[in-house]
């Protein structure tokens, strides 16, 4: 089960690049905005070097959006937390009024950065500031802060606020808490809310619960949804189920996907069942 999945992956899904909520608002010049968009195109093609190059050019021309994107790049891809912090703080300081969406995005990203550093005081501070600017991902980060402090009831309160605002990662975390409390029906219901909207970690955990209940068809259904989004744990779980169903072809298929992603456990298992 993915109970201790990498924080980076979970929070990447939470805050990374929701372009739809960050509108231009004429902060950047047309030229710098065009350069910034070129960087975004390169990022979409996983060309992080050229994305960085164009965002740096746009940032030099005063584009706050490029600064925000650079911060996210250094937070999650080309990891340099000090550089990321400087870019987020720069965006926050430059936007005193006006574009609250961009400011809030930088605030919640900075909160996430401090979570990665285990600095709960600063993580809480910037999560609260993002909420003031209607960024509801901040509720999720507050939930993490209180969960890490073992204040579970308080964590649930903030996760529920985030869930009410369609923050899928909050549903995932709530599900984990309900599992720890042995309330499996509540866990299943809250996982389903996120799973139906494509959140792969919730899909995996929901599949695991169905597998424990011996509802193998439902387990396979949700594992497949997550596996199709390249969640290696689900690919391995599917391979295991198909292996015990004597469907070696499908077992090898899902393990081979993991092998192609460089996963050593998938390679080890594929070698075993191929003998």
pLDDT of residue 23: 44
Q: CB within 8 A of 114, min separation 6: which ones?
A: 120, 122, 123, 126
Assess if residue 70 is contained within a domain: yes
In this prediction, residue 11 has a pLDDT band, given cuts at 50, 70 and 90, of very low
pLDDT reading at 98 higher than 80? no
Distance CA 65, CA 55 (A): 9
pLDDT of residue 28: 57
pLDDT reading at 12 higher than 70? no
In this prediction, residue 97 has a pLDDT band, given cuts at 50, 70 and 90, of low
What's the total number of domains in the chain? 1
- Round the CA-based radius of gyration of the chain to a whole number and report it: 21
Assess if residue 68 is contained within a domain: yes
pLDDT of residue 87: 96
What pTM was computed for the model? Answer: 0.83
Distance CA 252, CA 234 (A): 14
Assess if residue 46 is contained within a domain: yes
pLDDT of residue 95: 80
Mean pLDDT to the nearest integer, 52-58: 96
- Helical axes 48-60 vs 30-44, angle rounded to 10°: 170
Assess if residue 42 is contained within a domain: yes
pLDDT tens for 112-143 read 999 999 999 999 999 999 999 999 999 999 99
Share of the chain above pLDDT 70, in %: 89
Assess if residue 159 is contained within a domain: no
Assess if residue 184 is contained within a domain: no
In this prediction, residue 30 has a pLDDT band, given cuts at 50, 70 and 90, of confident
Q: What is the DSSP string of 136-181?
A: THHHHHHHHHHHHTT-HHHHHHHHHHHHHTT-HHHHHHHHHHHHHT
Q: 189: phi > 0 → left, psi -120 to 50 → alpha, else beta; which?
A: alpha
Domain region containing 65: 1-10+31-94
In this prediction, residue 99 has a pLDDT band, given cuts at 50, 70 and 90, of confident
pLDDT reading at 274 higher than 80? yes
Mean pLDDT to the nearest integer, 58-69: 93
Assess if residue 17 is contained within a domain: no
CATH of residue 39:
1.25.40
Q: Kindly report the average pLDDT of the chain as a whole number.
A: 89
pLDDT tens for 211-237 read 999 999 999 999 999 999 999 999 999
Assess if residue 190 is contained within a domain: no
pLDDT of residue 248: 95
In this prediction, residue 96 has a pLDDT band, given cuts at 50, 70 and 90, of low
């Amino acid at each position: 089960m993915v109970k201790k999945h990498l924080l980076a992956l979970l929070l990447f899904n939470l805050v990374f690049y929701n372009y739809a909520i960050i509108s231009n608002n004429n902060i950047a010049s047309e030229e710098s905005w065009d350069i910034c968009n070129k960087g975004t195109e390169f990022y979409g093609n996983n060309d992080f070097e050229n994305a960085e190059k164009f965002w740096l050019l746009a940032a030099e021309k005063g584009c706050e959006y490029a600064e925000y994107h650079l911060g996210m790049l250094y937070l999650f891809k080309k990891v340099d937390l000090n550089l990321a912090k400087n870019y987020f703080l720069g965006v926050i300081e430059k936007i005193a009024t006006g574009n609250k969406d961009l400011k809030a995005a930088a605030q919640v990203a900075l909160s996430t950065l401090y979570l990665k550093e285990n600095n709960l005081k600063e993580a809480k501070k910037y999560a609260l500031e993002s909420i003031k600017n209607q960024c509801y991902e901040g509720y999720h980060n507050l939930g993490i802060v209180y969960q890490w402090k073992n204040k579970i009831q308080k964590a649930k309160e903030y996760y529920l606020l985030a869930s009410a605002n369609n923050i899928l990662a909050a549903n995932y975390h709530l599900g984990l808490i309900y599992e720890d409390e042995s309330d499996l029906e509540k866990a299943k219901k809250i996982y389903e809310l996120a799973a139906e909207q494509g959140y792969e970690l919730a899909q995996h955990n929901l599949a695991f619960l169905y597998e424990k209940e011996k509802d193998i068809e439902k387990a396979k259904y949700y594992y497949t949804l997550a596996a199709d989004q390249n969640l290696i744990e689900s690919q391995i779980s599917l391979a295991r189920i198909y292996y015990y169903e004597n469907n070696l072809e499908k077992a090898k298929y899902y393990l081979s996907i993991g092998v192609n992603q460089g996963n050593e456990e998938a390679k080890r298992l594929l070698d075993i069942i191929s003998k």
